[in-house]
Amino acid sequence: SFRFQWPADLATSWAFEMETLILSWFVLAATGSVVWLTAFAALQFVGTLISPVYGVMGDRIGHCRLLIIMRVTYAVLAGVLAALALTGTLTIVAVFAVAFISGLVRPSDYGMRNALIAATMPAPWLMGALGIERSSADAARVIGALTGAALVAWIGIGLAYVAVCGFYLLSVLLMLGVDESQPNGGARSVGAVWAELGEGIAHVRTTPPLLAAMWLAFLANALAYPLTGGLLAYVAHDIYDIGRTGLGTLVACFAAGALAGSIILSARGGHMRPARTMLAGALLWFALLLVFAVVRDPATGMVLLAITGFVQSFCMVPMAVVILRVAHDRMRGRVMGLRMLAVYGLPLGLLASGPLIAWFGFAATGLFYAGLAIACTAAIMLRWRAELLPVDAPANALQR
């Protein structure tokens, strides 16, 4: 099953990255406003509010079936944008409308991927499988960022979007080869769905390692990823002045570093203490962002992005291992759905960063975000030190 899921996820992530780069540049070029850019980026994550419901659906109908439905939706939306671009009728309104609809679905994709892996892979291989899975997203960022910029420059946005639609359809075909054990059916009414969701929330609230990982995930999305994600178009356009191809290079540098980190974790992650590795990776990640915020040289910024991408893998992959290992088997979908709620920090961080950059500049905003992230991570370590730091804690158990 994993032999089919991994390339399917790779194709989907590749299409995600191409779409993000193509449309981010389109919005920035058409409006000339960082506020509109951050608003567009935030729209892609509106569905985080309903991601727990996707988790319940995954537990009911199977995570594989749910992923197929989601990816068919992506293909249809990409086809709409391709048709508009090819006919010369693509507008900002259409881009924002499609981003909103896609944003209702896309945030839950990554959580359902991990839940499916946990359902199909033996526990001793979980860290390695998640490392490989993470590498698919990281590799897609490298390839997708570079090919997205190159395709638009070569054949135009319309045909580039035809390619995006093709990747989504390829993913759907590959997912048909995944063999997931049949779900137990679960809730049949709206009331029962909410009851199951409440059971998942209670499970997280009463399991300290899960609660700590959820807070750290929210922190990373709200204060770290905006600086190396949605705001990179602004950095390339207004600070480094390196154009659309330069933007693709910036995204690729971060992703290449993350890919290297994921590869190491897939090979050697079983010998690392997950919770300790997660916290150490977070602190170093946020410290590197302090430096990135004040750098004005494109070459130095690219190097820093590569190192930052490498380090963040040592936070995010162990975090997924902690969550999936500690969560009860029958509630993986719900727990991962709740984990995806943390992604809501990303649109919040992006929306707040737009006005802050306009008032105080990118450097001051970046320093504030990274400094606050370090302080909050230290608070998480202090609050849940008994569950996260001891070597014999369940969250630090080595794979066997």
pLDDT digits (tens, 9 = 90+) for 313-352: 899 888 888 888 887 767 777 787 778 777 778 878 888 8
Cα–Cα dist 328/324, whole Å: 8
Nearest to 291 by CA among 305, 277, 280: 305
Distance CA 297, CA 301 (A): 6
Q: Which residues contact 39 (CB under 8 A, 6 or more apart)?
A: 96, 350, 351, 354
Residue that has been written with the tokens 């207004």 in this structure: 238
pLDDT at 184 over 60: no
Residue keyed to tokens 């709740």: 338
The three-class DSSP label of residue 91 is coil
To the nearest whole number, what is the mean pLDDT of the chain? 83
Residue 193 pLDDT more than 70?
no
| CA–CA separation, 7 and 61 (whole Å) | 22
How do residues 334-345 score in pLDDT, each as one tens digit? 787 778 777 778
pLDDT of 140 higher than 70: yes
- Of the candidates 42, 30, 38, which has an alpha carbon nearest to the alpha carbon of residue 85? 30
Phi-psi region of 272 (alpha: psi -120 to 50; beta: other; left: phi over 0): beta
Q: Are 219 and 345 in contact (CB under 8 A)?
A: yes
Rounded to whole angstroms, the Cα distance separating 376 from 150 reads 39
CB within 8 Å of 212: residues ≥ 6 apart:
275, 380, 383, 384, 387, 388
- Amino acid sitting at position 187: A
**What is the pLDDT, as a whole number, of residue 152?**
67
Give residue 223's pLDDT: 92
Looking at residue 274, its pLDDT comes to 85
Distance CA 343, CA 352 (A): 15
Residue 61 to residues 50, 112, 117, 119, 263, Cα–Cα distance (Å): 17, 12, 16, 13, 32
Above 70 in pLDDT, residue 123? no
pLDDT tens for 13-43 read 888 888 887 888 788 878 877 778 778 877 8
- State the Rg of the chain over Cα: 20
Enclosing H/E stretch for 398 = none
**What does the pLDDT read at residue 337?**
74
Q: Tell whether the model's pLDDT for residue 400 goes beyond 80.
A: no
Q: Answer whether residue 283 shows pLDDT above 90.
A: yes
Return the number of other C-beta atoms located less than 10 Å from residue 186's C-beta.
17
Beta carbons within 10 angstroms of residue 263's beta carbon: 17
pLDDT digit string, tens, across residues 95-115: 899 889 988 888 788 878 888
pTM over the 0.75 mark: no
First to last CA, the chain: 22
Does position 225 have pLDDT exceeding 70, yes or no? yes
Percent of the chain with pLDDT over 70: 90
What is the predicted pLDDT for the residue at 371? 94
Both tokens of 369, joined, read: 């975000």
Residue 136 or 89, more confident: 89
Q: Is the dihedral of CA 377, 383, 389, 393 positive or negative?
A: negative
